[in-house]
Amino acid sequence: MVAAGNTMWSSRFAFVMASVGFAVGLGNIWRFPYVTGENGGSAFVVIYLLCALAIGIPCLMAELLVGRRGGGSPPRSMAVVAAESGRGKGWSIVGGMGVATAYTIAITYAVVVGWVLWYLARALSAGFAGFDAGIAEATFTGLLTDNQSMMLWTLMGNVIVGSIIYAGVTSGIERAVTVMMPLMFTLLVGLSIYNYFAGGFVETLEWLFTPDFSKVTGATFLAAIGQAFFSIGVGMGGMMTYGAYLPQDFSIARGAATIVMADTLIALLAGFVVFPAVFHFGLDMASGPGLIFQTLPVAFAQMPGGAIFAVLFFIMLAVAGVTSMVGLLESVTSWTKERLAVSRQQSALLVVGSVTTLSVISVLSYNVWENYRLMGLNFNELTEALYDKLLLPFAGLLVALFTGWFMHREHSENELADDARWYGVWRWLTRFVAVPAVAIILISGLV
């Protein structure tokens, strides 16, 4: 029941590359390896994989099947599928929530992508020779106070993202991701091999894959549930939008499984890129996003071939950031195009232009507006709390709730007809595992 005249993916490979590119964000590069080690190594990996199978894949399948059946932007798809099942128009709000989430994330995420491009330019020009902890910290702090540089590189990132979306699904998104994602994977493998010889590889192997069941607690399961849900990109409308471009003969079940497994593999590979240097040079692995911008430049300064490693590393990060931004803003572009009845090009310009403008607030909130607060939070902290604790899990919960309990069985069964033997498993997991699990994420975040 795909909408007539809708653009289609030209191949399964293009769809998977776009979806994996959307799912793999900058957080995968540092967060997953760190959370894994902190929660019992391979014991956590096993729990995470179970959560990914029981929660991540069903939620992803739910978004894709609604997108394909509705054939439009997330609000339109939800409205079409709800009406078809005899449900009220109010369900379109769920799709709207996904679009709003994506837009909110993009405003602050664009600035972080700008940081990555600034560091890539630094790696290409001056490099990080002579960097110690003090210089690295001063460099990053200096960037956070340099509004002109942050705005310039945020604009550069948005121009790249906007150009890809402007060109369309086939000529823009497909052409970009089918080059960028294999490049990213090649860089991850190459940098991992480099680290095998550079030092710290064995310690990383132990950190990630030595099971420590003494660390497994209720908090471990909550971390695994959260990682499985947030890591694959559901709740943001992007997967639902990408689903709208799927041909009817594409297996949603196999596609979702491939995306989740690829996302997990890339997150683990990222561990072998980031953490060997952390172990080898005795750096702080708990520094979160600062690991990328403050800790690793110190390692680049000390390691043999560090100048080349730094360039390749930040190219990889730039790919992760740009492909995630494309997924975020494609859903907003699709909705704007429908809502305002304008061309894709006009919609892309409007969306990317407005995100760039609002990103100025995010930039200023790192310095001159840092103390302008609402409920004790500045703009960046408030937007992160809004989408991380409320919008993302709430949107994901409602999509799972709708497809599991309110969508007519024959309609969802029809969308998953290619893998009929798995339909009953998907429906049961969505209703009795995914819905309660995402509800737990929502409630724990709010509490």
Give the Cα separation of 102 and 96 in Å (integer).
Answer: 10
Q: Quickly list DSSP for 168-224.
A: -IIIIIIHHHHHHHHHHHHHHHHHHHHHHHHS-HHHHHHHHHS--GGG-SHHHHHHH
> Which residues, listed in sequence order, are joined to residue 377 by a DSSP beta bridge?
374
Give the Cα separation of 271 and 299 in Å (integer).
Answer: 15
Token duo for residue 321: 């950031």
Each residue's pLDDT, cut to its tens digit, for the chain (447 residues) gives 444 345 889 999 999 999 999 999 887 887 888 788 788 888 888 899 999 999 999 999 999 999 999 999 999 999 999 999 999 989 999 999 999 999 999 999 999 999 999 999 999 998 998 888 889 889 999 999 999 999 999 999 999 999 999 999 999 999 999 999 999 999 999 999 988 888 889 988 888 888 888 888 888 888 888 888 888 889 999 999 999 999 999 999 999 999 999 999 998 898 898 888 888 888 777 666 777 888 889 888 988 888 999 999 999 999 999 999 999 999 999 999 999 999 999 999 999 999 999 999 999 999 999 888 888 889 999 998 898 889 999 999 999 999 999 999 999 999 998 878 889 999 999 999 999 999 999 998 888
CATH number for 274: 1.20.1740
Q: What pTM was computed for the model?
A: 0.92
Residue 207 belongs to what domain range? 12-446
Residue 6 inside a domain? The answer is no
Residue 4 inside a domain? The answer is no
Give the Cα separation of 37 and 114 in Å (integer).
Answer: 29
Residue 47 inside a domain? The answer is yes
CB atoms within 10 A of CB 406: 15
Residue 2 inside a domain? The answer is no
Residue 1 inside a domain? The answer is no
Of 345, 314, 274, residue with least CA distance to 114: 314
∠ CA 232-271-183, rounded to 5°: 70
Q: Are 268 and 52 in contact (CB under 8 A)?
A: no
* Count of structural domains within the chain: 1
Give the Cα separation of 379 and 357 in Å (integer).
Answer: 14
Residue 5 inside a domain? The answer is no
Q: In one letter, which amino acid is 284? A: D
Residue 136 inside a domain? The answer is yes
Long-range contacts made by residues 417-426, C-beta under 8 angstroms, separation at least 24?
A: 418/249, 418/250, 418/251, 418/252, 418/253, 418/254, 419/251, 419/252, 419/253, 419/254, 422/253, 426/58, 426/61, 426/253
Q: List, for residues 307-366, the tens digit of each pLDDT value.
A: 999 999 999 999 999 999 999 999 999 999 999 999 999 999 999 999 999 999 999 999
Residue 3 inside a domain? The answer is no
